[in-house]
Amino acid sequence: MTAIATAWLDDGTVTLLETQKRADAQARQAVADEVLSGLRYVRHPSSYFVWLPLSEEARADQIAMALLQEQVSVSTAEPFTTSVHVPHAIRLALGSVDMHTLRQALMKVKRVVGAYS
């Protein structure tokens, strides 16, 4: 295993894979930018995640359940919190589905979040 990893570092395989992953993440972020326009969100342009802060009227658990009924699984901020204050947000993972499905899921997210705002 060490020999394989060393060879991949030496022959540029790791660099190529890293470049491809960053490009894929950036393309997914571009879809999120397009579909989620008008909503406030927090992200890094090369990340596979988006944080969607919610209005005070909206409850993250209710939105997560409503999206689950739409076949879209999101996370609330609670599992990621390291302090007693839980941010009022949901976390969207962008990397686990094909681009068409991602676009459709993000459209559902925008619609459901809008209904709770």
User: Given pLDDT bands bounded at 50, 70 and 90, which one contains residue 90?
Assistant: very high
User: Given pLDDT bands bounded at 50, 70 and 90, which one contains residue 86?
Assistant: confident
Full-model pTM: 0.88
Read off the pLDDT of residues 33-73 as tens digits, 9 standing for 90 and up.
999 999 999 999 999 999 999 988 889 999 999 999 999 99
| Identity of the residue numbered 64 | A
Domains of the chain (ranges; CATH) run: 2-116 (3.90.1150.10)
The pLDDT score that the predictor gives to residue 95 is 94
- Would you give the DSSP letter of residue 97? S
Q: Given a cut of 80, is residue 117 above it in pLDDT? A: no
Site of tokens 């927090």:
42
